[in-house]
Chain A
């Protein structure tokens, strides 16, 4: 790797942080050494296949597995009754079963599973299982879900097929709108999409009986379970397995294998993980499953399709006087992260431009489709798209340059928003300036020839959620450090490498503090038996949280070494420094010892060396129900300009170039950070142009195209040139000032592209994907003199619950609602179990 060790712009005496180094797992990844879950083979291993529902909504009348059980090569068959305990990622929506016991809720919902000597035999056996369904009317859309005549998908929620309905008001929005000089009102739609990791989900379970097991009459055999799985959240899988299998967590070991792409799609505990575990326990043999690509579409938990309405008041200078935003989420058949997703569609509208009064109403419907959940940007790309296109329209009506309008009204650093989000560092202004200059915005916007256009949009995202998914007061991330007398350093952390570089961040941070080569550090991650808990690779939390935990553990280790060395040298501890694999005296640089010798001294003094570090986010100022979603230790910011070319005759469109600046606080590794920006732009481009997770409403709500051919993931040909700027405005809460970069850069992309299309053709498409037929439809309306717009019609009527009213900080509010814990006062609608934020934190509003 010598070639790569080009010295970067290391600053502030940093030697590792800030340099473009290879990732610590790079060689494993480029040589085929990395073992993904499906690359694991154990002796005597059986293969599992699941039988899935072929009808979207039905009661299960009977399941006959006798022919499958008799099929040669079959070792076990499971049905829903074998795993009766429900589970779900959020404590308030424990609505999933590993195998449906009574009812199926979408095409692809599993009803039975087989373990057999090989995959073909298991598949054949699935074909021998006979399921009798009592078919129910399927609920195919949000509109259907609001129609009380359709059967109910679940017996819980905030209404008939309404999973969650929330209403929050911060300050007086009506007064804000009344004061406005321009009121802009729009309806937008953001189509659902899926993560489509190239690696299909896979899991392998191994059951090891206790030596004392097998004695008759002692109940089910005791033993230990190990599950290897392609999961972004091994800790949550660990909890779900313990819950559903009725095993003590101490008897379960979950090892998350490196994920071949996650993007949020491997963040739930999944039915197939539980099923192989139970099959391993029953057969006493290792059992593996690897989903087919079609099944990966059915796992889903991807981007919610969201219909949005928004109304915002502006002054002539472009400042906002008040904002009212409504979202309607098509949630699919189960809860998943949906309660959090619903809140997220409203939470981050306030983090970029000051919103003095804000009202948010959000609704998530149950429909008979694979459940939606968190995809890169979780719940925020949709409202961000709406907001940024909405602003583009308002700027035009106000006669303002959309870049200038945004620049003139930025949320201040170290401030608190109307909905009580505590903003730390805030580099959006610098981001906008970068992309405006680089794209030639001022001389080209609204001045390009017809068919060519520029569009600008911004975004902001959390660097980890402020609260854990289940209520607890423990750290979100833990790191253990082991120092070997040979000079070896091993970092243990529950975080999981999904390609974003989390293993490398641990090594870089520890290497920086201990002055050693990051490639000498052994990184052990994502093993619930070996590593302390980290909540997982989601919500862009890993660099900040594990980075801080690693920093603490490393600083504690350094302190032990300093004590031992300073004692040996008989100098003050402040004179002991660490660099380049040596420990030296800053006042006498000739005096130094190898790092390993320092470890020997410390081990002699203290005994075996190990330190721990952990991280818990700061408490957020919000105290109202619902305040649990949105707070973060730090917010990243991004601005992007897109340039597009539209074929006016066909509507076909190409994104030519994107300029994007991302406020990352500090780039721990710039080349890895740029990779995250480029990947986010790619994914945003796909959602803007072509990706659609859609269903045939009139054909049994079957997925349109659960295949890599027909689900359109952009190829090399669709990718545009990207100019990436990293804006480094260190945040006090980040390790070395670092904030997130894995998700935020996606947010400005769809609205920047859609705004660019308007600049190019003078017609609006108020939804994504912005397909050629939609552009052409808008152009035709323009040609006929009609409103030059293609997009959704009015949003459905819904009797929203009375909002929880929270006075803003500038009204003297303290983060609490006016009436605490008020019940949502609508007939037949009750608050979610635990209510409000309790929905996410498990019943304890914070």
Chain B
């Protein structure tokens, strides 16, 4: 049984982006705060810290959760994926590539959360319908894009991840005529 006294440092082991990390933190410090302030992974953003916007989404064992409401002590030993963990030596993740191509990241602030939520969706469902994408991304707010370029980017990335030689639709890039 774990007993962590209030305010005292607690050693927590996390598997962050595939790498073992150990932090010594007071137990009330959220995963969001620890990622940003103790591990320097500022790619994880925050918009309310109350679970009302989805901006701080990370993956825990592949499942999207809000890091502002998660305690490191409660996810001890589990795999945490942040936006910094998407890129590999081979290059950008197909979602990152598609977001970049289609301007699905405008200000870029909500982007890490959208990328991770979308990754969890595509890992589970390689060919989601537009409605499935709308549903899966319902817990992530974006104020810039109106979501449409994000949907299109998820679809483009999904096609490429299925091995298709997909390119963006002409209308996506140049508008309707």
> Which of A's residues lie within 8 Å of B, judged by CB?
1, 3-4, 6, 8-9, 20, 22-23, 25-36, 38-39, 41, 195-200, 258-263, 292-293, 438, 498-501, 670-675, 678-679, 681-683, 685, 707-709, 713, 715-717, 719, 721-726
> Which residue from chain B places its CB closest to the CB of A20 in the assembled complex?
B173
The distance in angstroms between the C-alpha atoms of A262 and B144, with both chains bound, is 9
The distance in angstroms between the C-alpha atoms of A756 and B92, with both chains bound, is 43
**Chain A residues with Cβ under 8 A from B106's Cβ?**
261, 499-501, 675, 679
Q: Chain B 22-50 against A: per-residue CB contact (8 Å), 1 yes, 0 no?
A: 00000000000000110011111111111
In the complex, the answer to whether B42 meets A9 with C-beta atoms within 8 Å is no
**Shortest Cβ gap from B98 to chain A (Å):** 9
Kindly identify which residue among A38, A195, A501, A675 contacts B145, using a CB–CB cutoff of 8 Å: A675
In the complex, the answer to whether B100 meets A1 with C-beta atoms within 8 Å is yes
> Which residue from chain A places its CB closest to the CB of B101 in the assembled complex?
A4
**Chain B residues with Cβ under 8 A from A8's Cβ?**
173-174
* Residue contacts A-B, CB under 8 angstroms, 10 given: A23-B103, A30-B115, A32-B43, A259-B107, A438-B176, A681-B146, A707-B50, A713-B141, A716-B140, A721-B148
In the complex, the answer to whether B134 meets A678 with C-beta atoms within 8 Å is no
In the complex, the answer to whether B146 meets A719 with C-beta atoms within 8 Å is yes
**Chain B residues with Cβ under 8 A from A1's Cβ?**
100-101
**Shortest Cβ gap from A769 to chain B (Å):** 17
The distance in angstroms between the C-alpha atoms of A726 and B174, with both chains bound, is 8
In the complex, the answer to whether A722 meets B103 with C-beta atoms within 8 Å is no
**Shortest Cβ gap from A713 to chain B (Å):** 6
In the complex, the answer to whether B175 meets A30 with C-beta atoms within 8 Å is no
Kindly identify which residue among A292, A673, A682 contacts B147, using a CB–CB cutoff of 8 Å: A682
For the complex with contacts A30-B83, A30-B111, A671-B173, 12 further pairs of A-B residues with Cβ separation under 8 Å are A26-B100, A27-B100, A29-B107, A30-B96, A258-B107, A501-B106, A671-B101, A675-B106, A675-B144, A709-B48, A709-B52, A716-B134
**Shortest Cβ gap from A21 to chain B (Å):** 9
A-B residue pairs, 5 tightest by C-beta: A32-B43, A499-B107, A260-B109, A29-B108, A682-B146
In the complex, the answer to whether B97 meets A198 with C-beta atoms within 8 Å is no
Q: Does B53 contact A (CB under 8 A)?
A: yes
**Shortest Cβ gap from A8 to chain B (Å):** 6
**Chain A residues with Cβ under 8 A from B47's Cβ?**
198-200, 293, 708
Kindly identify which residue among A30, A198, A500, A707 contacts B92, using a CB–CB cutoff of 8 Å: A30
> Which of B's residues lie within 8 Å of A, judged by CB?
36-37, 40-50, 52-53, 55, 82-84, 86-87, 92, 95-97, 99-103, 105-112, 115, 133-135, 137-149, 167-168, 172-177
The distance in angstroms between the C-alpha atoms of A678 and B150, with both chains bound, is 11
**Shortest Cβ gap from A638 to chain B (Å):** 13
**Chain B residues with Cβ under 8 A from A259's Cβ?**
107
In the complex, the answer to whether A6 meets B173 with C-beta atoms within 8 Å is yes
**Chain A residues with Cβ under 8 A from B115's Cβ?**
30
> Which residue from chain B places its CB closest to the CB of A263 in the assembled complex?
B143
The distance in angstroms between the C-alpha atoms of A261 and B146, with both chains bound, is 13
In the complex, the answer to whether B107 meets A498 with C-beta atoms within 8 Å is yes
**Chain B residues with Cβ under 8 A from A678's Cβ?**
145-146, 148-149
**Shortest Cβ gap from A782 to chain B (Å):** 33
The distance in angstroms between the C-alpha atoms of A292 and B176, with both chains bound, is 41
**Chain A residues with Cβ under 8 A from B84's Cβ?**
31-32
In the complex, the answer to whether B102 meets A671 with C-beta atoms within 8 Å is yes
Determine which residue in B55, B105, B142, B146 has the highest number of CB atoms from chain A within 10 A of its CB, and name it. B146
**Shortest Cβ gap from B152 to chain A (Å):** 10
**Chain B residues with Cβ under 8 A from A674's Cβ?**
103, 149, 172-175
In the complex, the answer to whether A198 meets B43 with C-beta atoms within 8 Å is no
The distance in angstroms between the C-alpha atoms of A674 and B175, with both chains bound, is 7
In the complex, the answer to whether A198 meets B175 with C-beta atoms within 8 Å is no
In the complex, the answer to whether B45 meets A719 with C-beta atoms within 8 Å is no
**Chain A residues with Cβ under 8 A from B173's Cβ?**
6, 8, 20, 670-671, 674
The distance in angstroms between the C-alpha atoms of A39 and B40, with both chains bound, is 9
In the complex, the answer to whether A683 meets B43 with C-beta atoms within 8 Å is no
The distance in angstroms between the C-alpha atoms of A672 and B87, with both chains bound, is 23
**Shortest Cβ gap from A367 to chain B (Å):** 26
In the complex, the answer to whether B137 meets A261 with C-beta atoms within 8 Å is no
In the complex, the answer to whether A260 meets B108 with C-beta atoms within 8 Å is yes
The distance in angstroms between the C-alpha atoms of A471 and B30, with both chains bound, is 49
The distance in angstroms between the C-alpha atoms of A29 and B110, with both chains bound, is 10
**Chain B residues with Cβ under 8 A from A675's Cβ?**
103, 106, 144-145, 149
> Which residue from chain A places its CB closest to the CB of B172 in the assembled complex?
A671
**Shortest Cβ gap from B102 to chain A (Å):** 6
**Shortest Cβ gap from A542 to chain B (Å):** 14
> Which residue from chain A places its CB closest to the CB of B83 in the assembled complex?
A32
Tell me whether A198 and B110 are in contact in the complex, defined as CB-CB below 8 angstroms, given that A4-B101, A671-B174 are known contacts: yes
The distance in angstroms between the C-alpha atoms of A20 and B44, with both chains bound, is 28
Determine which residue in B42, B53, B103, B133 has the highest number of CB atoms from chain A within 10 A of its CB, and name it. B103
Tell me whether A197 and B138 are in contact in the complex, defined as CB-CB below 8 angstroms, given that A32-B41, A708-B48 are known contacts: no
In the complex, the answer to whether A679 meets B52 with C-beta atoms within 8 Å is no
Tell me whether A722 and B148 are in contact in the complex, defined as CB-CB below 8 angstroms, given that A198-B143, A672-B103 are known contacts: yes
**Chain A residues with Cβ under 8 A from B37's Cβ?**
41
Determine which residue in A25, A30, A197 has the highest number of CB atoms from chain B within 10 A of its CB, and name it. A30
In the complex, the answer to whether B53 meets A719 with C-beta atoms within 8 Å is no
In the complex, the answer to whether B36 meets A198 with C-beta atoms within 8 Å is no
Kindly identify which residue among B50, B83, B87, B140 contacts A709, using a CB–CB cutoff of 8 Å: B50
**Shortest Cβ gap from A690 to chain B (Å):** 13
The distance in angstroms between the C-alpha atoms of A687 and B53, with both chains bound, is 18
In the complex, the answer to whether A199 meets B149 with C-beta atoms within 8 Å is no
The distance in angstroms between the C-alpha atoms of A715 and B137, with both chains bound, is 9
In the complex, the answer to whether B147 meets A198 with C-beta atoms within 8 Å is no
Kindly identify which residue among A3, A258, A261 contacts B167, using a CB–CB cutoff of 8 Å: A3
**Chain A residues with Cβ under 8 A from B100's Cβ?**
1, 4, 22-23, 26-27, 29-30
**Chain A residues with Cβ under 8 A from B135's Cβ?**
716
> Which residue from chain A places its CB closest to the CB of B82 in the assembled complex?
A32
> Which residue from chain A places its CB closest to the CB of B115 in the assembled complex?
A30
The distance in angstroms between the C-alpha atoms of A35 and B112, with both chains bound, is 13
**Shortest Cβ gap from B107 to chain A (Å):** 3
In the complex, the answer to whether B111 meets A29 with C-beta atoms within 8 Å is yes
In the complex, the answer to whether A6 meets B107 with C-beta atoms within 8 Å is no
**Chain B residues with Cβ under 8 A from A499's Cβ?**
106-109, 144
In the complex, the answer to whether B50 meets A197 with C-beta atoms within 8 Å is no
**Chain B residues with Cβ under 8 A from A709's Cβ?**
48, 50, 52
The distance in angstroms between the C-alpha atoms of A41 and B35, with both chains bound, is 13
Kindly identify which residue among B49, B103, B137 contacts A716, using a CB–CB cutoff of 8 Å: B137
In the complex, the answer to whether B145 meets A3 with C-beta atoms within 8 Å is no
